[in-house]
């Protein structure tokens, strides 16, 4: 039986940003498959993927290596632009000190590593599929595409803009953020450290196994908050005061704090346009 906690509902809806690409007359597709060995397989391992256009799928397996398949799609209106895309957008992959770094580089990158609008003469999409050791730290980023992680134990830092984040059968702390998309996390072990889930336009769902002990900070503007677990309300956290233009300006956290079980690590779930669900099964 789900319990419902009223949240502020407003008629105002913020438009989601479209992530679609323009249509192009020509397209070229290819793919690369590669196996990577870690420098010290017995030590902690990290896989980093920094993509821009395209999806990321990562699955854990009883292995000490990484198997990667990268599907590339180049689209343009002329053969010259296709060749330009092939020259300018480069997939860089390297392993050093037990960190596998996968990076899509191109003219859309600024010198500081940030991203700006793509060259409109073409679009290059990379869709990554990886099999990694079951115990692996993951740092995953894309801008236009979905991210899926399954059967991995580790620390997860996941960033997206226009796309969903889905995490299944995982164990470990999560810091997940997108803008236009939902986030869903299914834990096979209840987290023992801080977790954060944030989106703007999308639902948030976290599923836990029985015996959950945690403290939640929950916030939605246009949506509801639901829980399969009985909860007790936590006192509101004090606001912060800052002096500006000769006055004290007070800001408070507008989230609802609740405790499940005996309390434990803080799990933050925040969305602007969407529901929040704390679920008690692993369906």
Ordered by start, the domain boundaries in the chain are 26-211+270-278
| Bridge-based pairing state of the strands 174-177 and 256-260 | unpaired
pLDDT confidence of residue 109: 83
Distance of CA 207 to the CA centre of its chain: 16
Q: Which residues pair with 130 in a beta bridge?
A: 58, 68
Q: What is the pLDDT of residues 82-92, one digit of tens each?
A: 999 999 999 99
CA angle in degrees (0–180, nearest 5) for 118-120-48:
25
| Separation of alpha carbons 32 and 118, rounded Å | 23
Q: In whole angstroms, how far apart are CA 117 and each of 21, 29, 122, 142?
A: 12, 22, 12, 14
Q: Over the Cα atoms of the chain, what is R_g?
A: 21
pLDDT confidence of residue 22: 56
The model's confidence at residue 238, banded by pLDDT at 50, 70 and 90, is low
For residue 1, what are the contacts with CB-CB under 8 A and spacing of at least 6?
Answer: 228
The model's confidence at residue 235, banded by pLDDT at 50, 70 and 90, is confident
């Amino acid at each position: 039986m789900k319990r419902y906690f009223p949240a502020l509902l407003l008629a105002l809806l913020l438009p989601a940003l479209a992530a679609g690409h323009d249509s192009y007359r020509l397209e070229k597709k290819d793919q690369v498959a590669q196996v990577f060995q870690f420098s010290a397989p017995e030590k902690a391992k990290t896989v980093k993927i920094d993509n821009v256009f395209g999806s990321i799928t990562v699955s854990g397996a009883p292995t000490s290596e990484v198997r990667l398949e990268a599907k590339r799609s180049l689209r343009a209106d002329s053969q010259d632009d296709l060749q330009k895309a092939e020259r300018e957008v480069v997939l860089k992959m390297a392993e050093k000190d037990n960190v596998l770094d996968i990076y899509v580089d191109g003219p859309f990158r600024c010198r500081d590593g940030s991203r700006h609008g793509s060259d409109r003469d073409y679009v290059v999409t990379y869709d990554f599929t990886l099999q990694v050791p079951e115990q692996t730290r993951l740092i995953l980023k894309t801008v236009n595409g979905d991210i899926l992680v399954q059967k991995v134990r580790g620390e997860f830092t996941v960033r997206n803009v226009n796309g969903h984040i889905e995490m299944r059968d995982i164990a470990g702390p999560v810091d997940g953020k997108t803008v236009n998309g939902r986030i869903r996390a299914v834990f096979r072990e209840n987290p023992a450290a801080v977790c954060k889930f944030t989106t703007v336009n999308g639902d948030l769902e976290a599923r836990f196994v029985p015996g959950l002990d945690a403290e939640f900070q929950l916030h939605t503007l246009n949506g509801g908050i639901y829980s399969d677990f009985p909860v007790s309300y936590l006192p509101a956290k004090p606001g912060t005061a800052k002096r500006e233009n000769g006055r004290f300006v007070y800001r408070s956290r507008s989230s609802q704090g609740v405790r499940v079980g005996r309390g434990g690590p803080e799990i933050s779930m925040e969305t602007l346009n969407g529901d929040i669900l704390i679920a008690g099964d692993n369906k």
